Amino acid sequence: MPSIPSSPAAAFRAVFNLRVLAAMVGLCVLFAGSRVLTWYVGYSDLHKWLMGWLSYTRQTLISGFVLLLLIGCAEAWLARWPLRTESAKRLLRAGAVLLGAALGAVLRNRVAYWLDPARVKFEWSWFFSLLLLWSALGGLGYALFLKSQRASLSRQALAEARLQSERLQIRQVEAQVSALNAQIEPHFLFNTLANVKRLYETTPERGRDMLGHLIAYLRSALPGMRRSQSSLGEELALVRNYLSILQMRMGPRLRFRIEVPEALQSVVLPPMVLATLVENAIKHGLGPLPEGGEICIRAARREVQGGAQGLVIEVQDNGHGFSASAGSGVGLANTRARLQAMFGDAARLELEAASPRGVLARLHLPLLAPAAAEPAEALA
Q: Give the predicted TM-score (pTM) of the model.
A: 0.48
What is 317-355 written as a DSSP string? E-SS---TTTTSSHHHHHHHHHHHHHHGGG-EEEEEE-S
The pLDDT score that the predictor gives to residue 184 is 47
The pLDDT score that the predictor gives to residue 1 is 39
The pLDDT score that the predictor gives to residue 14 is 87
Q: How many residues does the chain have?
A: 380
| Segments in the chain forming alpha helices (H) | 8-15, 18-36, 46-80, 86-112, 124-202, 204-225, 232-250, 273-280, 330-343
How far is the C-alpha of 304 from the C-alpha of 306, rounded, in Å? 6
How far is the C-alpha of 175 from the C-alpha of 357, rounded, in Å? 39
The pLDDT score that the predictor gives to residue 34 is 79
Q: Mind listing the pLDDT tens digit of every residue in the chain (380 residues)?
A: 344 556 888 888 888 888 888 988 988 888 888 777 766 555 567 777 778 788 888 889 999 999 999 999 999 999 888 888 989 999 999 999 999 999 999 998 888 777 666 666 778 888 999 899 999 999 998 999 899 888 888 888 888 888 887 777 666 655 555 555 555 456 556 766 777 777 777 777 777 777 777 776 676 666 655 566 788 888 888 888 888 877 876 788 899 999 999 988 888 888 878 888 998 888 888 888 888 899 999 999 887 766 677 899 999 999 888 764 455 566 677 778 778 877 878 888 999 988 888 999 999 988 876 643 443 333 23
Say if CB 295 and CB 286 are below 8 A apart. Answer: yes
At 42, the amino acid letter reads G
- Of residues 21, 142, 124, the one with CA closest to residue 75: 142
- Of residues 97, 103, 87, the one with CA closest to residue 141: 97
How far is the C-alpha of 254 from the C-alpha of 243, rounded, in Å? 8
CATH 3.30.565.10 occupies which residues in the chain?
A: 164-366
CATH fold of 164-366 reads Heat Shock Protein 90 (3.30.565)
